[in-house]
Chain A
Amino acid sequence: MLQLLHLKKYYATQKAVDDISFTVPQGSIFGLLGPNGAGKSSILRMVTGITMPDEGQILFNQVPFNMVKHSGLIGYMPEERGLYKKMKIGEQVLYLAQLKGLSKQDALAKIKYWFQKLEMESWWNKKVEDLSKGMSQKLQFVTTVLHQPKLLILDEPFSGLDPVNSEVIKNEIFELAKQGTTIIFSTHRMEQVEEICQHIVLINQGKIILEGQVPEIKQRFKLGEYKLVVDGNLEPFTKFIHSNNGNEFVLRFEDKKEYRQVLQYCLDHQFDILNFNEILPSLHEIFIQEVEGTAGRKFDR
């Protein structure tokens, strides 16, 4: 769907995007992750045609990206949300949809569909300044997806949303993905990424530091830790015990033989095994670990 090839963008004092290449597969939910100031927004602005890369190329469906040709296929929700505060909501959504190339009738029909779906019918004659923050987030989401973009770019889509509305938007994202929309989801909130994304790229200081499928990355970074909740005593295996809290043990093994030994021991002594599972690192932990190690983070401190 989207290919970034050796993308570079420099500002006066810094390399905001420094030779970044990755591919967003068709129909995937793709996470673009990184701490504040990593270069996420700079990449997204180039992908949406708002700014031009200094070097490198963006391919959209295998052809060079052209804003005039492709802008109608892209939906972009920037991190800094923006709507005309004094304009009536209905007129505003219609205007933004028409700018994306929809005809008036088509736009009106789609607005009706979305407003009904998200229970916003009464909003038509209101102004954005009358809405709460969460409500205007919802409105912004609708304006972004209304023209049925093939590529949906969401920069921090959940910031400012309460849990209920977060859930609503999350379900919409899943549904759009099911219908074949490719979604780029940019954030620094890792728990959301784990829930939503299949594929991620982690960038820091304008460079990619990690890339891949979420389960595969977790496997790559696992420490060989297991959680065992057992009604008994593991005295012979103190060398494996990483931490323990009552009958809950965190064990660290070099290979699978070792945990079989432990389990066998428990079975032999007829201990009740209440829980046994592998501990995979959360993306949050991987993120912290990877970002902490880099030069920029040390400099920050």
Chain B
Amino acid sequence: MNKILLIIKREYLSRVKKKSFLITTLLIPLLTSGLISTVIYFASTTEQKQLISVYDESGVFTQKIKGNSSFQIQYVNLGLDEKIDTVLSRTNADIFLHIYPFKNNQPDSFILYKNGGVSLIAKEYINDELTNIFQVKQMQDAGINKLQIDSIHKSTILVKSYNLDNHQETSSEIASVIGYVMGFLIYIIIFIYGAGVMRGVMEEKTNRIAEVIISSVRPFELMMGKIIGIAFVGLTQFSLWFILLLLFKVALPLFIPSLQPAMPMAMAGMANVHDTMQVISQSENAKMYATIMGQNWGLIIGCFLFYFLGGYFLYAAMFAAVGSLVNEDPQEAQQLTLPITMPIIFGFIIMASTVKDPNSSLALFGSMFPLTSPIVMLARIPYDVPTWQIIVSMALLVLGFLLMTWLSAKIYRTGILMYGKKVTWKEVIKWLKYH
């Protein structure tokens, strides 16, 4: 027991004392905040408007297309024999829209011209505008008056959701963002620290120090010492980030007050949840803060720590086993890690669909199966998962971790002493049968 503590201490200190640890620990929050600031900067600076010249031969759309923050509309005429090429320069426009005359009262052709390709945004914008105008025209033709049309446009339905357990209004959008961020964090952690374990094992094997050390301690102690030591490195790094994040949150508004309201928006945007953005309007910011604060953060953070450690230990044992199989050739390591990276990526894919439908059977399976549960369950937690499911999932994860560590230790103790020969999976399976 004393020896495993020595190993944990060495693994921990040798990593934490490195300059690169300090640099990444400081640099990652800086880069992240830099990235967020950049997104905010570009989101808040309005780009120069693009001018669209419209030549409307149908007469249906004249003076009806509205401009917006990105596009300005002007109506032009095409001179006799004037070529389209010259219209843009003559009217100083960026884009030229040619609306052809209607045939039999039905729209015929609409064509956008631009020097060097029309952007998707411009095309969608024009398409939407024209469709709207044409729909209004059709409704008017059918005898519906303008007032009625306006009222049709204004009528939207907003669905709210309540959680019967605590009688609070729930926000699926916020939950999906939190779930996504949590699942993503675990995914990253498993990759970064798992690969760290693998590199450590490879280093010991290729340096041949493993043989010296396991003449003093059992291979299992060496493997677990390394895994636990690196877990502490991870926890240290996360605590430091948490502290930095708090400092950042406190310090940032002091320097740039205008950024404050934009922050959550940008963060939501970074998580890439488009639906969320459309629903949450600027005016609902306060409500959103309340919802975020109203989340069961004790449960979320508790589960995060549990699944972080569980998922990390499960995968770290596998990474250690793979590390022990590698012979100095990094390419070999890449091939051998494939069976490990597959379930992680699989878990990530399930997680992406889980945030949309947290109670689907795929999400349920993913949050129970130990190889994917650390990623998937965290994405479900903000949606209030039944307690029994959390308990079963945690128990399965612990069982999976014990089983995987037992198997990995068998591979590890043989692999770490096997030099020079490229190992096949068939042989590895044989090692599992050694007593």
Contact = CB atoms under 8 A, between A and B. Distances in A.
Contact of A74 (B209, B213, B215, B218): B215
Contacts of B203: 84
B6 A78 contact: no
Nearest to B434: A52
A112 interface: no
Interface stretch (A95-103, A173-181, A194-202, A248-256): A95-103
A143 interface: yes
Given A50-B215, A78-B208, A95-B6, A12 B430 contact: yes
Contact of B14 (A68, A82, A83, A87): A87
A84 B210 CA distance: 10
Contacts of A76: 212, 215
A205 interface: no
B417 A83 contact: no
B207 A83 contact: yes
Contacts of A78: 208, 211-212, 215
Contacts of B7: 99
Contact of A50 (B3, B6, B211): B211
A134 to B, nearest CB: 17
A33 to B, nearest CB: 21
Interface string B1-35: 00100110010001000000000000000000000
Nearest to B18: A86
Contact of A71 (B208, B210, B216): B216
A108 to B, nearest CB: 15
Interface residues of A, number: 28
A10 B10 CA distance: 35
Contacts of A67: 218
Contact of A96 (B207, B216, B417, B430): B216
A30 to B, nearest CB: 18
Given A78-B212, A96-B212, A12 B427 contact: yes
Contacts of B6: 95, 98-99
Contacts, number: 61
A294 interface: no
A6 interface: no
Contacts of B207: 82-85
Contacts of A85: 207
A49 B214 CA distance: 8
A51 interface: yes
A71 B430 contact: no
Contacts of A84: 14, 203-204, 207, 209
Contact of B213 (A12, A81, A87, A99): A99
Interface in A16-51: 45, 48-51
A80 interface: yes
Nearest to A76: B215
Contact of B208 (A12, A68, A80, A96): A80
B369 interface: no
Measured as residues with beta carbon below 8 angstroms from the partner, the interface class of chain B is 20 to 34
B217 interface: yes
B216 A82 contact: no
A84 B200 CA distance: 10
B212 A143 contact: yes
B232 interface: no
A279 B1 CA distance: 58
B419 interface: yes
Contact of B209 (A68, A82, A98, A100): A82
B208 A99 contact: no
Contacts of A72: 216
Contact of A81 (B3, B208, B417, B419): B208
Interface string B189-230: 000000000000001100111111111111000000000000
Given A12-B427, A12-B430, A51-B417, A99 B3 contact: yes
Contacts of A98: 6
Interface in A87-136: 87, 95-96, 98-100
Contacts of B430: 12
A131 to B, nearest CB: 13
Nearest to A81: B208
A82 B212 contact: yes
Contacts of B208: 78, 80-82
A82 B217 contact: no
A99 B216 contact: yes
Interface of B: 3, 6-7, 10, 14, 203-204, 207-218, 417, 419, 427, 430
12 contacts: A49-B215, A51-B417, A74-B215, A76-B212, A77-B212, A78-B208, A78-B211, A80-B211, A84-B14, A84-B203, A84-B207, A99-B7
Given A82-B207, A82-B208, 6 more contacts: A72-B216, A76-B215, A83-B212, A84-B204, A87-B14, A99-B6
Nearest 6 CB-CB pairings of A with B: A82-B208, A82-B209, A80-B208, A99-B216, A48-B215, A76-B215
